[in-house]
Amino acid sequence: MKLGVFLVLFQQQSFEKALDTAKAAGLQAVEIGTGAFPGTAHVNARSILNDEAAIRRIRDAVDSRGLTISALSCHGNPLHPDKAIAEEHHNDFVATVQLAEKLGVDTVITFSGCPGDSENAKYPNWVTCPWPPDFLTILEWQWNEVAIPYWKEQSAFCRKHGVKIAIESHPGFLVYNTETALRLRREAGDNIGVNFDPSHLFWQNMNPLECVKALGDSIYHVHAKDTKMDARNTALNGVLDTKPYGEELQRSWIFRTVGYGHDDEFWKDLVSTLRMVGYDGAISIEHEDSLMSVNEGFTKAANFLNGLILTEKTGEMWWA
């Protein structure tokens, strides 16, 4: 198991400087953003896809520092009802898969996407309850007419390029919990798995440890990000919260650096449970803590997790 970082944290730095920052923090892996929502601060998959010299420079820069690339990330919404947005994100995904093959990277991370309520929709429509019955009509159309056909096609495409798809379960998209992640995998292709990020599960009152056990070998990548619940605001308003992330005092929950939402016992248990289901990939630090600077949040997360994850095997046992 390796400790890594989602390199877009350091988008103000050059690619080489960002790699140096990761290396200096004792990390072994980097996850690189290549388009869609993460942007292209370091690598633009579409721009360099046919530039062998540029691809070689990326590979050499990573290899020369003793690092590995855990995944390429182009989190987007290829099912967006705005066809221009859907096409943009789809093209980023296609180019990212092709670039991953050329770099020898076997995992691409994205979102499942979310359509609108019909062919005539303008914005995505995330259904969260079964009544009034119109909602179930929308949901059936979204899955059967849009999501499953699209992801079946992408599953076949990725299989040709030797790449696995790691869908991040995220509220606002069709895949947001365990059963929706497993449904997409079951109905669209078994090379579609999960980028496991517990931060999105905590506030939905899910137990990430049980989720890991249920997802098993469908976990292809892991994000390290925490969530802190506010007991009073949750008691008053529940967990569905549309207030801006910067309104920390008023929100029911906020994203935190690892260790600031849940203690080391949880994170030890998470690492151990991942190992029990056979996961031996990267745990990639992601920073969205509005109470800390990027440098502070990253440094604290790296120090915290470096104390929990051993990268060497000792005898017949793995220890977390």
How would residue 309 be classed by pLDDT, with cut points 50, 70 and 90?
A: confident
- Supply the pLDDT for residue 133: 96
- Supply the pLDDT for residue 289: 98
Q: Is the pLDDT of residue 83 over 90?
A: yes
Q: Is the pLDDT of residue 313 over 80?
A: no
Both structure tokens of 95: 């180019």
Q: What is the mean pLDDT of residues 308-315?
A: 54
- Supply the pLDDT for residue 317: 38
- Supply the pLDDT for residue 307: 85
Domains of the chain: 2-306 (3.20.20.150)
Q: What is the mean pLDDT of residues 280-302?
A: 97
Q: Is the pLDDT of residue 318 over 90?
A: no
Q: Is the pLDDT of residue 315 over 50?
A: no
Torsion of CA 120, 121, 125, 127, to 10 degrees: -30
